Structure 1
Amino acid sequence: MHRHHRARRGQRCGQHTDHSGQKWITNGFWSHYATMAVRTGGPGAGGLSLVVVPLKGHPGVTMRRLKVQGQVSAGTTYIELDDVEVPVENLIGKEGMGMKYIMTNFNHERLTIAVTATRQARVALSAAFEYCLKREAFGKSLMDQPVVRHRLAKCGAPLEAQWAWLETFVYSMTKMPRDEADVALGGLTAAAKANAGIVLNECAQCAMLLFGGNGYTRTGQGEIAERLSREVFGVRVPGGSEDVLLDLSIRQLVKNYQNKTKAMERPRGSSRL
């Protein structure tokens, strides 16, 4: 299982529920089971529940692997459910709490993506840095060219800032109580994940440009730059697309600000110091 799939309404039939719907998802091709959000109630978030749905060889389940730009080992798969019977005991937690469970998990998923992307950015920039030290053009190394050093610096500075931010962020997450961290860090998690994708994009492009023609090939010295350039949108889209997360981060911070300032207000008629 990798992440949540959403199916259409589930119909209760004795000791099982019937589910129909479609979804494409990473790691689906390798999975024997999937955690799916299904509609067991009325409209809105309160009508969604999480269930464990059997996949491989289960009646009514069809899976087809998809070819994608990056993450070629992820087994991205298109899954179709046609009146798939799922035992009622496969319900996760309480009925109607599916959306809350999903949103709670998002913080950890987005943080994992942010850490992965930041490391990928460092690999791309490090490879370009090393290449520029040994590649010669016009009688001197690329690193001797001011424009090359400038380009490396423009990517290196935000990369170091992103990494330092993540270390501080992880420290806060491990020290704060779970309920407090979910509220205080939710918007910041979205921002950290979105910014990691932006930093990776800049570093991957920088590596491609500095490797030159070598960066356009899938073999040889520029292989790592070419490969990482194809991984960029595998970071910027999953776990919440970049624009969605940037918007979410501000909306969450506004909500937290309003709640904090309201809690600080004195009741009418109270004395002031």
Structure 2
Amino acid sequence: MGVMITNGLWSDYASMAVRTGGPGPSGLSMLVVPLLNTPGVRMRRIKVGGQTSAGTTFIELDDVKVPISNLIGKEGMGMIYVMQNFNHERLSISIGVNRLSRVALSSAFEYVMKREAFGKTLMEQPVVRHRLAKCGAELEAHWAWIEQFTYMMTKLSEEEANRELGGLTALAKAQAGKVLEVCASTAVLLFGGNGYTKSGQGEIAESKFEAQSRFLGSIKCMLTNIGIYREVPGARIPGGSEDVMLDLAIRQLVKNFQRKTKELETIQERPKGSSKL
């Protein structure tokens, strides 16, 4: 059996959903699987288009022995644990990607304030301000959305949060990739030729934004714009690809809609009377 995972090369253990029972989701359990110096485990690094510090790893497992004591939670609950954890993972991805989008847009904002063409700065060109305004609206709307979800997670019970926010966090994660794509592509365009080079101002931008990108964990921007633009697929695929997230969001919202409609139908009918005052 083979699996692909982030940070596998540097991990002594990995949590995995494995089949311990019959067919279907109820046959899956969550285990802590030993990796380092474990017979039957082989690992090799996978080179990917972005996130060069993520340590993307292919792990092969061949008759690996795992003690019963390594079971996480209850047997047969593996799929439920995975799906519940996805809500937090997707929200975390949304937050990190939103920040990366802000780095791209703010770097372009700073650049057009000082770059001059035809006797005036680029910021004095209406078309430039228009591009920044459209990106800024997308960026700030998405940030307000994930701030709202984060607040709701602190106020709702775990059961309520999983039920109410599962589909919405999937939708926020899908939107994060779209926001990053528009902000990164706009930054490249506004930087012009400097946004397509690995030297000059692009080289300066590399050192300037390295510290800002380091807190994202697995993302290192090799240069301000092209590097960030290269990370777009890394935002749209991990944690559930964009199309899967959009479909999951609607399916979850349909379930909530049907449940709440049924609850409303059970409410006692209001007294009849005139609407006139």
* TM > 0.5: yes
- Residues 36/271 of structure 1: CA separation in 2 closer, same or farther (3 Å cut): closer
- Residues 271/231 of structure 1: CA separation in 2 closer, same or farther (3 Å cut): closer
Consecutive unaligned residues of structure 1, counting only runs of 5 or more, are 1-20
| Residue 197 (1) aligns with residue 177 (2) | yes
Residue 61 of structure 2: aligned partner: 81
TM (norm. structure 1) is 0.89
Equivalent residue for 1:102, pick from 82, 89, 100: 82
Alignment partner of 1:72: what SS?
coil
Cα distance between partner residues in 2 of 1:220 and 1:83: 53
| Residue 232 (1) aligns with residue 241 (2) | no
Amino acid at match of 1:247: D
Amino acid at match of 1:151: R
**Is the CA contact (8 Å cut-off) linking 1:218 and 1:227 kept in structure 2?**
no
Cα distance between partner residues in 1 of 2:7 and 2:95: 20
- Residues 217/256 of structure 1: CA separation in 2 closer, same or farther (3 Å cut): same
Residue 112 of structure 2: aligned partner: 132
Residue 241 of structure 2: aligned partner: 241
Deviations 1:215-253 (A, max 9, x none): 112344232111111111111100010111111111111
CA shift for structure 1 position 148 = 1.2
Residue 70 of structure 2: aligned partner: 90
Cα distance between partner residues in 1 of 2:89 and 2:124: 41
Deviations 1:37-71 (A, max 9, x none): 11111111111111111112111100000111111
Residue 11 of structure 1: aligned partner: none
CA shift for structure 1 position 271 = 6.6
Equivalent residue for 1:47, pick from 3, 23, 27: 27
Deviations 1:72-98 (A, max 9, x none): 111000110011111121111111110
**Is the CA contact (8 Å cut-off) linking 1:190 and 1:248 kept in structure 2?**
yes
> Which of the two has greater helix per residue?
2
| 1:208-227 to 2 correspondences below 5 Å | 208-222=188-202, 223-227=223-227
- Residues 41/217 of structure 1: CA separation in 2 closer, same or farther (3 Å cut): same
**Runs of at least 4 residues of structure 1 off by over 3 A?**
none
CA shift for structure 1 position 190 = 0.6
Alignment partner of 1:84: what SS?
coil
- Residues 271/163 of structure 1: CA separation in 2 closer, same or farther (3 Å cut): closer
Give aligned-pair identity as a percent: 67
CA shift for structure 1 position 272 = 5.6
Residue 188 of structure 1: aligned partner: 168
Cα distance between partner residues in 2 of 1:91 and 1:178: 22
| 1:109-128 to 2 correspondences below 5 Å | 109-128=89-108
Amino acid at match of 2:136: G
- Residues 212/42 of structure 1: CA separation in 2 closer, same or farther (3 Å cut): same
Cα distance between partner residues in 2 of 1:183 and 1:43: 25
| 1:21-32 to 2 correspondences below 5 Å | 21-32=1-12
Alignment partner of 1:69: what SS?
coil
Cα distance between partner residues in 1 of 2:255 and 2:266: 19
Cα distance between partner residues in 2 of 1:67 and 1:266: 56
Residue 7 of structure 1: aligned partner: none
RMSD of Structure 2 on Structure 1 (CA): 1.4
Amino acid at match of 1:243: D
TM (norm. structure 2) is 0.87
Residue 253 of structure 1: aligned partner: 253
Residue 36 of structure 2: aligned partner: 56
- Residues 166/271 of structure 1: CA separation in 2 closer, same or farther (3 Å cut): closer
- Residues 130/23 of structure 1: CA separation in 2 closer, same or farther (3 Å cut): same
Cα distance between partner residues in 2 of 1:159 and 1:84: 46
Cα distance between partner residues in 2 of 1:108 and 1:158: 22
- Residues 271/145 of structure 1: CA separation in 2 closer, same or farther (3 Å cut): closer
Number of matched pairs:
251
Cα distance between partner residues in 2 of 1:265 and 1:212: 59
| Residue 153 (1) aligns with residue 118 (2) | no
